[in-house]
Amino acid sequence: MPLLIILFLMTKPVLAVAPGLIGPLQALLQMLPQMLAALTALLGGLLSNPYLRLLARKHLKLLILLAVLLLASVGALIYSAQDRRLPVLATPSATPPPSQQNWVAFRGSLDGGGSGAIDGRPLPASPPTRWIHTDKDNAQYLSSPVAVNGRCFVGASLFQSSNSFGAIECFDTQDGKLIWRALTRHPVFSSPVISKGRVYCGEGLHEDNDCQLYCLDAQSGKTVFTIKTHGHVEASPTLVGDKLLFSAGGEGFYCAQAQTGQVIWRTACGHSDSSAAVAGGRVYIGTAYGDNAVVCLDLESGRKLWSLAQDLPVWGHAAVAGETVFVGLGNGTFGTSDAHPRGAALAVRASDGQLLWRRDLPDSVNTSLVLNQERVLLGCRDGFAYCLDQRDGRILWKAACGAPLLSSLVLQDKTLLVAGGDGHLHALELETGKELWHYLISDVPCEASPMLNGDHLFLGCGSFLECLGP
């Protein structure tokens, strides 16, 4: 019995520290094969000497103890070097499950968290300016900002006479102070996606080649990994579960592992500058530059399931409700209208790509579509916001917003917020399209999609990044 008590007392301290040893032991086990191989090679070289062999035989127990301590120390060092911090930032709506059946707005949902559209507290009719950031290098904010947990992330484009480059930037949402800036080799039009302490964003515009998709640490802005592409990554990436999806211009469409950046598959489906909509294990994108089509891919394999050819480029990011895919298209570009402008909105059957209806419009639809109940909400380059019936494409109302609409719309409860090409923020009544109020943001067109977080709206206009709200 005394022996048992002594053994218990001896093991009690060991049991107390055992949980703390689990991590180092796991790290050690992961590296053990490589470490044993190196140790064997070292011992083999040393024991080839007769004197050292005699010495080792004499002090065998001591050498074994020293080897064990060395291995344990290395394991502890490996473990301590690993980043075990909990994510400092997270965007719940940025990583919907692959099985979800609806994709109703930019980045997938209307529940905030960086989606670009939210039901929440109403923005006042004359929202005060909380802060304005003006870039010292005259950067252009063409990217849609994302505000998460007290930080605002956005892409910037810097056009200089000698060269053009870009940056991904992080600001404090309270005062607009720049926290960090990560330079990119090309301008950034892509809007960031934030999830689990990481920032995902592409680079490149129009004809840029040799571009990258960046994964940065949200806390510090340091590069975690990059995915090199031949084409530009102009559209915003989509994050679904552990899969990172993005278009790369004429190179087609990528799917990569979000944690490591390893490419899972790449599909050559034509020139795509479209952000993906994902629903029911399928990926829906648009293609342009002569390969005009609505395309459906299998999420797991990248296999093309169907493609619906169009007479116009498909620029608008798709939205999905149940068994129907909605998408916008038109000629011209983000920069200019075509000499003979044309545009349309389509409804397509998700299962096989069968066209359900088409509503022709006066100019191109470049924005993401927003779905609400039985409505399809979109902006058009003709300067009007449109509300269509989901069932047949009938125009329920249209509202003049002064100039071409290039940014995605923000739905806030019963109010539709539109950042216009006239530099104004327009608030429209959801049911009728009646303008409730408008507010001058900038004297330059607003091309970036606004993002509403609580009662604060974040928006890039030209060289200004602004936060509106109390």
Give 145-169 pLDDT, tens digit per residue.
Answer: 988 889 999 999 988 767 889 999 9
Neighbours of 23 (CB within 10 A): 16
pLDDT value at residue 120: 55
Name which residue leads in pLDDT, 338 or 106: 338
Name which residue leads in pLDDT, 75 or 204: 204
Asked if the model's pLDDT at residue 2 lies above 80, the reply is no
d(CA 211, CA 164): 13
Name which residue leads in pLDDT, 111 or 352: 352
Buried b (16+ CB within 10 A) or exposed e, 395-418: eebbbebbbbbbbbbbbbeeebbb
pLDDT tens-digit map of 219-247: 999 999 999 999 899 888 999 989 999 99
Asked if the model's pLDDT at residue 14 lies above 60, the reply is no
Of 52-56, 275-279, 362-366, which gets the smallest average pLDDT?
A: 52-56
Task: Indicate the pLDDT class of residue 449, thresholds 50, 70 and 90.
Answer: confident
d(CA 176, CA 204): 26
pLDDT value at residue 40: 62
pLDDT value at residue 42: 58
pLDDT value at residue 209: 85
pLDDT value at residue 109: 55
d(CA 275, CA 246): 7
**Domain boundaries in the chain?**
12-81, 92-109+136-398
Asked if the model's pLDDT at residue 13 lies above 50, the reply is no
pLDDT tens-digit map of 178-201: 999 999 999 999 999 988 899 999
d(CA 293, CA 311): 8
pLDDT value at residue 7: 39
Would strands 263-267 and 253-257 be described as parallel, antiparallel, or unpaired? Answer: antiparallel
Asked if the model's pLDDT at residue 22 lies above 50, the reply is no
With contact defined as beta carbons under 8 Å apart, do 379 and 364 qualify? no
Would strands 355-361 and 370-372 be described as parallel, antiparallel, or unpaired? Answer: unpaired
As a whole number, mean pLDDT of residues 376-388 equals: 95
Name which residue leads in pLDDT, 51 or 234: 234
Buried b (16+ CB within 10 A) or exposed e, 61-89: eeeeeeeeeebeebbbebbeeeeeeeeeb
Asked if the model's pLDDT at residue 363 lies above 80, the reply is yes
As a whole number, mean pLDDT of residues 333-356 equals: 90
- In which element (H, E) is residue 284 found? strand 282-287
pTM of the model: 0.78
* Percentage of residues in the chain having pLDDT higher than 70: 74
Name which residue leads in pLDDT, 226 or 86: 226
pLDDT value at residue 206: 77
Instruction: Domain 92-109+136-398: give its CATH superfamily.
Output: YVTN repeat-like/Quinoprotein amine dehydrogenase (2.130.10.10)
Name which residue leads in pLDDT, 229 or 103: 229
Asked if the model's pLDDT at residue 99 lies above 80, the reply is no
As a whole number, mean pLDDT of residues 406-427 equals: 87
pLDDT value at residue 135: 82
Name which residue leads in pLDDT, 308 or 109: 308
Please give the mean pLDDT across all residues of the chain.
81
Task: Indicate the pLDDT class of residue 47, thresholds 50, 70 and 90.
Answer: low
Would strands 370-372 and 375-379 be described as parallel, antiparallel, or unpaired? Answer: antiparallel
